Structure 1
Amino acid sequence: MTPRLDLHHASPDIFKAWYAYSLKVAECGLEKPLLELVKIRVSQINGCANCLNMHTFDARRAGESEQRIHLLAVWREAPCYTPRERAALDWTEHMTQIATCRAPDALHEALAAQFTPAEQVQLTLAINVINGWNRLAVGFNFYAADMGWK
Structure 2
Amino acid sequence: MELRMNYRSVNPEALKAMLGLEQWIQNSGLDRKLYDWIKLRASQINGCSYCIDTHSKDLISMGESVEKVMLLTAWREAPQFSEKERAVLELTECVTRLSEAGVPREVYDRVLAHFDEKQFVDLIMAINAINSWNRIGVSTGMFPGCFS
TM-score by length of 2: 0.94
Percent of aligned pairs with the same amino acid: 34
Paired residues, number: 148
Structure 1 residue 20: Cα displacement = 2.3
- For structure 1, the residue ranges without an aligned partner over 5 or more in a row are none
Structure 1 residue 144: Cα displacement = 4.8
User: For residues 120-144 of structure 1, what are the alpha-carbon distances to aligned partners after superposition, in whole Å with 9 as ceiling and x for unaligned?
Assistant: 1111111011111110000110125
- For structure 2, the residue ranges without an aligned partner over 5 or more in a row are none
Q: Please list, as runs of the form range in 1=range in 2, the aligned pairs for 1:38-117 lying within 5 A after superposition.
A: 38-117=38-117
Could you tell me whether the CA contact under 8 Å between 2:28 and 2:122 is conserved in 1?
yes
Could you tell me whether the CA contact under 8 Å between 1:26 and 1:126 is conserved in 2?
no
Q: Secondary structure at the match of 2:137?
A: helix
In 2 relative to 1, CA 27–57 (structure 1 residues): closer, same or farther, beyond 3 Å? farther
Runs of 4+ in 1 over 4 A off after TM superposition: none
Q: What is the one-letter code of the residue matched to 2:108?
A: H
Task: Give the whole-Å Cα distance in 2 for the aligned partners of 1:53 and 1:43.
Answer: 9
CA RMSD of aligned residues (A): 1.2
User: For residues 2-56 of structure 1, what are the alpha-carbon distances to aligned partners after superposition, in whole Å with 9 as ceiling and x for unaligned?
Assistant: 1111111222223212222223213321211111111111011111100001001
Structure 1 residue 90: Cα displacement = 0.4
Task: Give the whole-Å Cα distance in 2 for the aligned partners of 1:42 and 1:62.
Answer: 19
Could you tell me whether the CA contact under 8 Å between 2:49 and 2:142 is conserved in 1?
no
